[in-house]
Structure 1
Amino acid sequence: MDARTRILSVALEEFAAKGEKGATIRGIADAAGVSAGLVQHHFPNKAALREACDAYAIDTIRDIKTRSFGGGAGDTGFLAVAMSAAIPIQTYLARALVDGSPRAAALFDDAVALTRDMTEHGMPGMNPPATDDPHAYAAVLTAFSFGMIVLHEHLSRSLGGNTLTPEGYPRLARAALDVFSHALVTPEFTEQARAALSTLMDDAPGDSDPPAP
């Protein structure tokens, strides 16, 4: 692991444990076994380091999802490696999404853009979404996925084990797969509810069009 990658890896852990306000360049440098000057050589300030962590998180999520839908989901060896990479990312996201910083909003928006890109362009093993509002679809799907991360302490308590560990994560992922792969409501219910909701949207005052991507 080169110095930049090592610093980034440790920064993910520090931000996850202490939040953006609590983590410091000096603390990250000490944990990474490098000088503060070297950290600032790669990342001029803490904001730049946090931004790099966000970008790394999104890129890693994209890579894991792409490989999973490309055949990796059926390979236990790949799943073990992917899980070891995903758990630190998700631990970071659990804190980063709720720490109140401006970066939290940007991180969520980046994730929505990634989700929309992947659902609109399609991937092997993924059905095209049945929606006439792809932006809302991507935003809600992202919120569903991030909700499991942000609420991991409650999920862990309910499931009887930490869901952000190699032991607990597979059960969480399998349950999520069951949810996403099963049509929980009937076509009749869907048609009736969509018609009623569309009427409410049409009758609502003001512009109800979804925001531009």
Structure 2
Amino acid sequence: MGSAKSDLTARARIRDAALLRFGADGVAGASMRAIAADAGVSPALVVHHFGSKEGLRQACDEHVLAGMEGGDDLEGEALARVLAAATPARRYLARSLLDGTDAATALFTRIVERTEQWLAEGEAAGRVRPTSDARARAVVYVSWQLAPLLLGEQVERLLGSDPAGTKGARAGLEMLTGGLFTDDHWLRAFTELDR
């Protein structure tokens, strides 16, 4: 019987293999047997650690969300850190969000909720401008951050670098920090539409 440490190592190997396989094939298209083979373990060990494919998917979600934890300043910005991190987590996140499942909806909602909290903390600390609709700001911000996952190849081709790299991040931060428009013409126009 293996030690607790080797069990954790096997668990992490299985989870990492699932991130890759789910990212490539989607959750529905990936088999537990293929994930086990990728991790170099038996299918029974996958079931032992995660119970089912759904349990494994939940572990992958938690792993991606855990990557968003920590860091309470702008340098610790959570979602951008995950997007700039390992490609398997990025591919997994993209594929998961496109699955259209209840699990994908729950994952997106959790990311928005964490981002909304992060932005509120930044607002309280004076690093983020106030808004009239905190929830809408968080949803739009997350959508903008996730767009390169869907358009990654096109963005990379035109930028000449990884969309999550410094060139794309800098362009985005310049727009978010300084603004894009020089006046409030478009804001006033859209505000009128709401009336």
TM-score (norm: length of structure 2):
0.81
**Equivalent residue, structure 2, for 1:77:** none
Superposed CA deviations along residues 67-112 of structure 1, whole A, max 9, x for unmatched, are: 763x568xxxxxxx97773432212112111123222111111111
Superposed CA deviations along residues 4-32 of structure 1, whole A, max 9, x for unmatched, are: 11111111111001111111111111111
Contact 2:19 2:88 in 1 (8 A): yes
Shift of the 124–16 alpha-carbon distance from structure 1 to 2, 3 Å rule, reads: farther
C-alpha distance in 2 between matches for 1:131 and 1:123: 9
Shift of the 158–96 alpha-carbon distance from structure 1 to 2, 3 Å rule, reads: same
| 1:109-128 alignment runs, 5 A limit | 109-122=109-122, 127-128=127-128
C-alpha distance in 2 between matches for 1:162 and 1:85: 11
Q: CA deviation at 1:2?
A: 1.3
**Equivalent residue, structure 2, for 1:204:** none
Say which of 17, 20, 30 aligns to 2:24: 17
C-alpha distance in 1 between matches for 2:123 and 2:87: 23
TM-score (norm: length of structure 1):
0.75
**Equivalent residue, structure 2, for 1:154:** 154
Q: State how many pairs are aligned.
A: 186
Runs ≥4 residues deviating over 6 A: 81-84, 123-126
Identity among equivalent positions (%) equals: 35
Long gaps (5+) in structure 2: 1-7
**Equivalent residue, structure 1, for 2:173:** 177
What amino acid maps onto 1:152 in structure 2?
G
**Equivalent residue, structure 2, for 1:90:** 90
C-alpha distance in 1 between matches for 2:19 and 2:182: 42
Contact 2:152 2:163 in 1 (8 A): yes
**Equivalent residue, structure 1, for 2:189:** 193
